[in-house]
Chains A and B, each alone.
Chain A
């Protein structure tokens, strides 16, 4: 069983959205993913980090932690903030629902994470923060001998 782990901490600034997704994609590239798989991961990380900045910290300064773990041909990514938390996680995960319609948010963030990754778990506590855990298996590697 192959194992690898990384942890990244950064300020909740929107310039760090691209930084976070590029770092995770670079870490994931040791699994020899296809371009599509890599793009899926970048998009899912971007959504989770953007949520932490806009909703978790509501544009205030805070620390976002991104962790990634590789176990065999699977990657597990955790994005965590210590922000305001989500009152109703189920509602937040509904497609097109947004708590900030004035900001022209599409309400698609969680739907993108769900669609582009194999699994998504969201844990949140009001006033304490949100933890998003996603997993994806790399088919490119599983099909190799």
Chain B
């Protein structure tokens, strides 16, 4: 699992590459939370397009970051085009509370 976490103004852009499961979610959680401590950051954009696998540990990870976002009065956006990832996102009910965009640009336009 490779993850890149970048700050863009008040947004935290997180890009995933590889497989997100219980094993990899721990380090991902630490990396995101560490950067999200920055007071100027409010919104989180999760780009899941590079994921080749995700199970319910990924759902737990997204739910946890979403809660942090709400506490900071920020918004969360998901960028995804992978049908397998979409299937599990849909099942979890997350798509009812978080909008999904096909590209990072379209997500940023909607902030």
Q: Give chain A's interface residues, CB within 8 Å of chain B.
A: 14-15, 17-18, 21, 35-36, 39, 42-43, 46-47, 50, 53-54, 103-106, 108-109, 111-112, 115
Selected from A14, A15, A108, the residue in CB contact (under 8 A) with B59 is A108
Which residues of B lie under 8 Å from residue A109 when comparing CB positions? 56
User: In the complex, which range does the number of interface residues on chain B fall in?
Assistant: 20 to 34
Interface class of chain B by DSSP: helix
A115 to B92, CA, bound (A): 11
> CB < 8 Å: which of B23, B83, B91 contacts A14?
B23
List B residues at the A interface (Cβ < 8 Å). 19, 21-23, 29, 53, 55-57, 59-61, 63-64, 83-84, 87-88, 91-92
Question: Pick the contact of A112 from B19, B53, B55, B63 — CB < 8 Å?
Answer: B55
CB-CB under 8 A from B23, the residues of chain A are 14-15, 17-18
